[in-house]
Amino acid sequence: MRPLALVLGLGWLVVPLVVIAGGLRDLDDAWLIPTERLRAMLTSAQAPPQRWFLTVAQGRLHDLAELPQLGITAGCGWPDLHGRLAWERLGRSLYREDQARLEVLVGPTWRVGCGVGLDQLDLGESEPRRAFSLELRIQGSLPNGLRLDVWWPLTEAPTWYGRQGLRRWLRLDGGGKATVWSVTVDVTSEGTPTVQGEAMLRLAAAGALGLRFEPWSGAAGFTMAWRLGPVLWRSSHLVHPDLGTSHRWSFDLGGGS
């Protein structure tokens, strides 16, 4: 792609992409089912739970070489304390967006805590744009094996998200030894909710195949997972009707998140 076309294209990307492509912008959104639940479906009931995890993920947004994605997440947990540290980058050279997040939750069954973050957008200007974020976090177990996650933003979204920029507000997930699923609600800066979901079916002793869908934007695709000993490999292949295909892969070691 020629430099001028790339600049114009990425200038368009900064705001409208989050409007018409929903949460497909972020690596963390490639899989809606928590890694911990998926690993439990693919692991023997006798296997002891791990208190720590490390995840490395990479991908390419809308199959554009100029928009590679890279992310690293690490965390640990005890009965009454859970922590998570994550970093992610989208793009390079003319467009580069970085996200850093730290999350701490306390409590046994119902956990309460907060998440702090720093977002940065670099368009080759003299000074990158930065935005600080703070959110309230609630996580708890419900009857029938369900789990609820709530993110309550206490700060405004970064300006480059635009008025329609999406942020996660709620996730409900469930399942057992044959199927797992998750439904999430994202809310725009104007307060409009959007819904998306993922469901996975266990096909082998250590493998699963799933469907990832976002009804309001028309984006959909499939996800796969395979457990190789302590390593959980996942892939996500999503197609947007206007923007094309996004491919992501991740490797998780430990207990998942």
Query: What does the alpha-carbon distance between residue 41 and residue 33 come to, in Å, rounded to a whole number?
Result: 11
Give 17's contacts (C-beta < 8 A, 6+ positions apart): 25, 243
pTM over 0.85: yes
- pLDDT over 70 at 54, yes or no: yes
Helix (H, G, I), strand (E, B) or coil at 209: strand
Helix (H, G, I), strand (E, B) or coil at 18: helix
Query: Domain 3-254, what architecture?
Result: Beta Barrel (2.40)
pLDDT band of residue 131 (cuts 50, 70, 90) is very high
- pLDDT over 80 at 203, yes or no: yes
Least confident span in 24-28, 32-36, 128-132: 24-28
- pLDDT over 80 at 46, yes or no: no
Query: What does the alpha-carbon distance between residue 172 and residue 234 come to, in Å, rounded to a whole number?
Result: 20
Decide if 240 contacts 218 (C-beta within 8 A): yes
Share of the chain above pLDDT 90, in %: 58
Query: What does the alpha-carbon distance between residue 35 and residue 232 come to, in Å, rounded to a whole number?
Result: 8
Least confident span in 60-69, 173-182, 225-234: 60-69
Q: Kind and range of the H or E element at 8?
A: helix 3-13
Query: What does the alpha-carbon distance between residue 146 and residue 211 come to, in Å, rounded to a whole number?
Result: 19
Dihedral Cα 200, 204, 207, 211, nearest 10 deg: -20
